Amino acid sequence: MTQPMAGHHFPDDELRRALQRLVRLGGLLEPHQHAGLKLSFSEVMALGELGDVESMSQQELGQLLGLEKSTVSRLAAGLERREWVTRERTPSNRRFYQLRLTETGLAVAEQLGSELRARHEQLLDALTPAERDALVVGLAGLVRALEGQPTLPPPT
């Protein structure tokens, strides 16, 4: 077992270890392979949000995903290059883009949703009812605690 260095800077607690394992086991930092396509985690999340509505502004998508304006702009441009979304200026305010899934984008979102739904069912079926209940309560509590915390500063 690796010995911690004196004065290490990161917390060594259950939360850190659990989050690290979730990120690693869930492959959240690696491109995802779905439906024969390679997608970033942000693309997966964006397609999920856009698949639930007829259209939304680029600003709304950024707020839902917790992304900076420049990051969501690059994300939307990438989705547009892949021909999964259309970006049109909002008539009432030409500074904003309105995003809408194309037919191809909708098909990709539906396939992703189907794969993710099956994966979630598989994961939840592996839990006991008590574990499932505890997970719901624990995650709701963690989200509540995170919502009350300041966000980390952006990387420099």
Whole-model pTM?
Answer: 0.75
Domain count, the chain: 1
pLDDT at position 93? 78
Q: Is residue 126 part of a domain?
A: no
Which domain covers residue 60, as residue numbers?
Answer: 28-112
Tell me: pLDDT of 78 over 60. Answer: yes
- What band does 71 get if pLDDT is binned at 50, 70 and 90? very high
Residues above pLDDT 70, as percent of the chain = 86
If you count them, how many residues does the chain have?
156
Calculate the alpha carbon distances from 42 to 31, 39, 95, 96, 134 in Å: 10, 8, 23, 20, 28
CATH code of the domain covering residue 86: 1.10.10.10
Tell me: pLDDT of 127 over 60. Answer: yes
- What band does 35 get if pLDDT is binned at 50, 70 and 90? low
- CB contact at 8 A, 84 and 102: yes
